[in-house]
Amino acid sequence: MSVTVTAIDSALELYLAHLTVERGLSTNTLLAYRRDLTRYTAFLDSRGYREPAEVAELDVEDFLLAVRTGSDGRTALSASSAARIVVAVRGWHKFLLLDGVTGLDPARAVKPPAQPKRLPKAISVGDVERLLDAAGLGDGPVPLRDRALLELVYGTGARISEAVGLDVDDLDRTPGRASVRLFGKGSKERVVPLGSFALDAVEAYLVRSRPALAVGSRGGSPGVFLNTRGARLSRQSAWAVLRVAAQRAGLAGAEHISPHTLRHSFATHLLAGGADVRVVQELLGHASVTTTQIYTMVTADTLREVYAASHPRAR
């Protein structure tokens, strides 16, 4: 029994050849494209289409609905997997338009499904304290540095790249109005208050530890946090500091705790303490308050828990 090859089938092979030759995609990526687009062409075939030019925007939208619900007889996909297929479909139709196979792009206005917002992972105040204590265990200059680094990251909400990029001149250590000047994405500058715990840890490090680490430096690094050779501490080394401290503190899921976890915890704990979301936005250096508002979802969960446990009519 012969299988009829339609113009849609031929157009698909043309696109896959383009991805192979012109874009040099890996074998696994090409297989993923073929799998996703074959599901799409099967859907078009079920509607009796044989030519790519027959496809309309409504067909693409119906296909997206089909992969989300499984109504095409195949496995229903998550939003992220469906979004991947939409990207493949849009790429194919755009290629057909540019190659002159079709005169319109029916997928141009079809948007991938919205991804569910992932709640930032934060750890409790108690776990933060255990982590910071663990970082400072031991003798010599390194534990003082590690404690100061993590106190500063948690105390200011700094990104790890901002923390290791700090110069000594970026610190204002004046008691009562201590602050740190951070340079975020796009070199955008912001000044963040430095709390007493972070200030004390940084002072102890600068006075008792940094001079010993700086001995190994030839030119003298302006960086606040130095490695044992006197050079500026790298992002990778800062990650290692946190990973070791988390393991030493015995925190649950220690292998998943990252420097960003402390930044998330900084924001979550501020909001839980009553801070205005716009203030937290400024402290984090977010360009839009919408980025910061995801943290309010975390505190809303806390509020529900407290309400359920405390209100006489909640249960």
Name the catalytic one among 90, 130, 147, 286: 286
Contacts of 81 (CB under 8 A, 6+ apart): 67
Name the catalytic one among 159, 210, 264, 269: 159
Residue 260 known to be catalytic: yes
Residue 159 known to be catalytic: yes
Name the catalytic one among 33, 40, 205, 295: 295
Q: In terms of Cα–Cα distance, which of 152, 150, 145, 164 is closest to 206? A: 145
Angle at 252 between CA 248 and CA 254, to 5 degrees: 55
Phi/psi at 199 (5° precision): -60, -45
Residue 185 known to be catalytic: yes
CB distance 194 to 166 below 8 Å? no
- Distance CA(153)–CA(86), nearest Å, equals 39
Contacts of 157 (CB under 8 A, 6+ apart): 192, 263, 266, 267, 270, 283, 284
Name the catalytic one among 39, 147, 263, 264: 263
Residue 18 known to be catalytic: no
Residue 264 known to be catalytic: no
Residue 286 known to be catalytic: yes
Centre a 10 Å sphere on the Cβ of residue 293 and count the other Cβ atoms it contains.
16
Name the catalytic one among 74, 185, 229, 278: 185
Contacts of 69 (CB under 8 A, 6+ apart): 76
Residues annotated as part of the active site: 159, 185, 260, 263, 286, 295
